[in-house]
Amino acid sequence: MTSESAASGGRGRQLDPQQCLYPVRCSNKRAFKKNGERHWLCTKHREHQNVMQRDHYRRVAKKTKSKTKEKTKSKTKTAQKMKKVEEEETKRV
């Protein structure tokens, strides 16, 4: 499968080389990169994809942060329990 047909979802539609490759048949022209080459998507769909990617990164970061907090809490609780056990043992002796 060529990269062009892969980008179009393999539906075999004929594309203008300058046409946006967003899977839902966008007829806009592809945006330009800083180096003068064309991006795969038009400006509208690039912005949309960038927003979605940012949201995805935020969700992943939030999950990672909450997991780290949970691990820290469980380590703290375990340390507190160990400290209590040690204190009780010293009182017995």
- What is the full per-residue pLDDT of the chain (93 aa) written as tens digits? 455 544 445 555 556 889 999 888 889 999 999 999 999 999 999 999 999 999 999 999 988 877 776 666 666 667 777 777 777 777 766
Structurally, how many domains does the chain consist of? 1
DSSP state of 28: S
User: Any residues with CB less than 8 A from the CB of 1 and at least 6 apart, and which?
Assistant: 10
The residue segments making up the domain with residue 82 are 3-92
The pTM assigned to this predicted structure is 0.52
Dist. CA 63–CA 49, nearest whole Å: 21
Please give the radius of gyration of the chain, using alpha carbons only, rounded to the nearest integer.
Answer: 27
Residue 82 backbone zone (phi > 0: left; psi -120 to 50: alpha; other: beta):
alpha
pLDDT reported for residue 37: 94
